[in-house]
Amino acid sequence: MTAILGISAFYHDSAAALLVDGEVVAAAQEERFTRKKHDYEFPTQAIEYCLGHAGLTPADLDYVGFYDKPLLKFERLLETYLAYAPVGFRSFLKAMPLWLKQKLHLPKEIRKGLKNQYSRRVVFTEHHESHAASAFYPSPFDEAAILTIDGVGEWTTISYGVGRGNKVELTHELRFPHSLGLLYSAFTYFCGFRVNSGEYKLMGLAPYGEPRYADLIREHLIDVKEDGSFRLDMSYFNYCQGLTMTNNKFHRLFGGPPRTMEGPLTEREMDVAASVQKVTEEVMLKMAAHVREETGLNQLCLAGGVALNCVGNGRVLREGPFDEIWIQPAAGDAGGALGVTSFIWHQLLDNPRTATGVDNQNGSLLGPAFTDQQIQEFLDQQGAVYETHSDWDALDQRVAQLLSEEKVVGWMQDRMEFGPRALGARSILGDARSRKMQSVMNLKIKFRESFRPFAPAVLEESASEFFEMEDGQASPYMLLVAPVRNEKRVDRDTQENASTGLDKLKEIRSEVPAITHVDYSARVQTVDPQRAPRFHGVLTKFYKLTGCPMVINTSFNVRGEPIVCTPEDAYRCFMATNMDVLVMEHCVLLKDQQPNAQEHQIDSYLSQFNLD
């Protein structure tokens, strides 16, 4: 047996992954255990979980891999600081203590984290090699082009190459400070969202605006070549020398200082978001075209933080030159932990790889699961009132009925997802047909910004009926945005008083208003019985009952909270919010039957999480 542990840590989204004889047996992000969103500390608990799941101790490991090369990254930081000295001195001082304390002594830190029970070598792969490996090795393809688009690793911000059989080879790269990820993050910052987590919000905001600033961005900030490579004009940015992303020159260009966090969202932010989204999509499309031409391959694998831009991904798939695309669900740095394990197994140890036409990610259900017995013991301790259903059929029927009555259902089943999206294992579900569901879920359940759209989880066989997707096309990891088909749309001309700004979201745009964004797009998750058997079961029952093959699927958490992991996390979140129903394995809890339901205060619950 060969056991390989992969670790990503000390930047954001620490994670661990375990590969045994070439199979991914477990992977999880540290934030789910520590309950600190985007936790970047050494992933002690994630490692403990992965090893425990396989019944291993650190001494049983054959290899431990780390997802980037700290010395190279250090070199980049030093050179950048020197180039901008003395202006860069402030961020230098801020970053150095962590580097001197932990990052330059990583092998020691890693051994300490493994309780000094691991004495073999620690393998360091390059950041983009880890992303590329995470994109190609679990993919369904024997041969594919690989494109990684990121903020920055050591020096590389974008790379491409080819995966063939058991080898990946990255042949081209773009280097820091020219970065599509950092450009997007700069606008995320400018629009008052948090860098490294608010990018998703910026993408969600974009459809409210018009891309009025796209020309300005193209003229001043980014010079895009025909092959998709580009240079940024660094005189507008501050991320090399300071603690912010943008500077006054940038602010003057876009009509004033950045929006303050939690300040009002104006037309400017919406238009700025629409503009940078548009430019990002243009670059992605150009790069995809170039990579297709250079490699001559029809399949593409994507990873890196920008590969979470599912609007851009959808366009690359629909308008780009590739027949098929596979995107690593944990496309951000957490996925690097997974990438480094398969890099060691295939690339370094030269173990063969057989592509089966189905991906190797197991629906990304790679985290902890809990038994009915564990759940019931916990619920009994809490004095909770619950039903138990003897079989899945009965449970799914019950839940489908509750959903059809516009109940909001916390749904915790099976192993927790690896990656930022909830895919029906730790999800909050609602009726996609409901007119009120969007605002109820945003404001009374998740306590998040009212402009944010919700995603549909749709039976795979029905996806093309509702969305502009080809028959049989899958999006099992919620990484593609597709337009709602014309025939499912409601003609807005018949509605009075077309709304503007954030009110646009309240308008009914389709038969499934709760998941239709203001530009008629939807962030589709297709659900199939192989990858997501439990979720497929309940969706099928809902379809039979209502004729609607989809539900709203949003992550099981409140704003700023990591997605729930354990029955305890799920119960706490359920009790603190206005969620109506909690389902954990075979157990169903109704809020109005809970004796303690009134005692819980949402304010104190929310106050333990930082706004994201």
Q: How far is the CB of 328 from Fe ion (least distance, A)?
A: 11
Q: How far apart are CA 245 and CA 195, in angstroms?
A: 9
Stretch that binds Fe ion, among 218-226, 333-341, 461-469, 534-542 (CB under 5 A): 333-341
Q: How far apart are CA 241 and CA 245, in angstroms?
A: 9
Task: Tally Cβ neighbours within 10 Å of residue 112.
Answer: 12
Q: How far apart are CA 541 and CA 142, in angstroms?
A: 36
Q: How far apart are CA 148 and CA 15, in angstroms?
A: 19
Return the number of the residue (129 or 333) whose C-beta is nearest Fe ion. Answer: 333
Return the number of the residue (126 or 460) whose C-beta is nearest Fe ion. Answer: 126
Phi, psi of 40 (to 5 degrees): -110, 0
Q: Would you count residue 150 as binding Fe ion (CB under 5 A)?
A: yes
Q: How far is the CB of 147 from Fe ion (least distance, A)?
A: 13
Stretch that binds Fe ion, among 150-158, 208-216, 233-241, 292-300 (CB under 5 A): 150-158
Return the number of the residue (172 or 591) whose C-beta is nearest Fe ion. Answer: 172
Q: How far is the CB of 304 from Fe ion (least distance, A)?
A: 6
DSSP H or E segment with residue 584:
strand 581-584
Fill in the per-residue mask, 233 to 262: x = in contact with Fe ion (CB under 5 A), - = not in contact.
------------------------------
Q: How far is the CB of 333 from Fe ion (least distance, A)?
A: 5
Return the number of the residue (126 or 333) whose C-beta is nearest Fe ion. Answer: 333
Q: How far is the CB of 176 from Fe ion (least distance, A)?
A: 12
Q: How far is the CB of 493 from Fe ion (least distance, A)?
A: 45
Q: Sort 393 into a burial class: Cβ within 10 Å, 0-12 / 13-18 / 19+.
A: exposed
Task: Tally Cβ neighbours within 10 Å of residue 231.
Answer: 13
Return the number of the residue (9 or 384) whose C-beta is nearest Fe ion. Answer: 9
Return the number of the residue (39 or 150) whose C-beta is nearest Fe ion. Answer: 150
Return the number of the residue (156 or 553) whose C-beta is nearest Fe ion. Answer: 156
Phi, psi of 587 (to 5 degrees): -100, 140
Return the number of the residue (39 or 333) whose C-beta is nearest Fe ion. Answer: 333
Task: Tally Cβ neighbours within 10 Å of residue 167.
Answer: 12
Parallel/antiparallel/unpaired status of strands 143-149 and 23-29: unpaired
Return the number of the residue (150 or 417) whose C-beta is nearest Fe ion. Answer: 150
Q: Tokens in use for 409?
A: 């259902």
Could you tell me if 1 and 61 are in contact, meaning their C-beta atoms sit under 8 angstroms apart? no
Stretch that binds Fe ion, among 52-60, 238-246, 293-301, 326-334 (CB under 5 A): 326-334
Q: How far apart are CA 200 and CA 312, in angstroms?
A: 12
Task: Tally Cβ neighbours within 10 Å of residue 31.
Answer: 26
Fill in the per-residue mask, 151 to 180: x = in contact with Fe ion (CB under 5 A), - = not in contact.
------------------------------
Return the number of the residue (31 or 150) whose C-beta is nearest Fe ion. Answer: 150
Q: Tokens in use for 137?
A: 């090795």
Q: Give the nearest residue (CB) to Fe ion.
A: 150
Number of residues forming the site for Fe ion (CB under 5 A):
2
Q: Would you count residue 333 as binding Fe ion (CB under 5 A)?
A: yes
Q: How far is the CB of 375 from Fe ion (least distance, A)?
A: 36
Q: Give SS3 for 513.
A: helix
Residues in 257-316 at the binding interface with Fe ion, rule: CB under 5 A: none
Q: Would you count residue 431 as binding Fe ion (CB under 5 A)?
A: no
Those residues with Cβ within 8 angstroms of residue 225's Cβ, 6 or more apart along the chain or in another chain:
none
* Beta-bridge partner residues of 590: 581
Stretch that binds Fe ion, among 47-55, 164-172, 266-274, 328-336 (CB under 5 A): 328-336
Could you tell me if 106 and 112 are in contact, meaning their C-beta atoms sit under 8 angstroms apart? no
* Beta-bridge partner residues of 23: 20
DSSP H or E segment with residue 5:
strand 3-8
Stretch that binds Fe ion, among 115-123, 147-155, 290-298, 490-498 (CB under 5 A): 147-155
Q: How far is the CB of 190 from Fe ion (least distance, A)?
A: 21
Looking at residue 16, the DSSP 8-state letter turns out to be: E
Q: How far is the CB of 418 from Fe ion (least distance, A)?
A: 16
Task: Name residue, tokens 């910026």.
Answer: 202
Return the number of the residue (181 or 211) whose C-beta is nearest Fe ion. Answer: 181
Return the number of the residue (479 or 588) whose C-beta is nearest Fe ion. Answer: 479
Q: How far is the CB of 231 from Fe ion (least distance, A)?
A: 21
Fill in the per-residue mask, 57 to 96: x = in contact with Fe ion (CB under 5 A), - = not in contact.
----------------------------------------
Parallel/antiparallel/unpaired status of strands 521-527 and 455-459: parallel
Q: How far is the CB of 303 from Fe ion (least distance, A)?
A: 8
Q: How far is the CB of 508 from Fe ion (least distance, A)?
A: 39
Among candidates 510, 517, 522, which has minimal Cα distance to 468? 522
Q: Tokens in use for 100?
A: 């001197």
The beta-strand segments (E) located in 88-182 are 122-124, 143-149, 156-164, 167-175
Which residues bind to Fe ion, rule: CB under 5 A? 150, 333
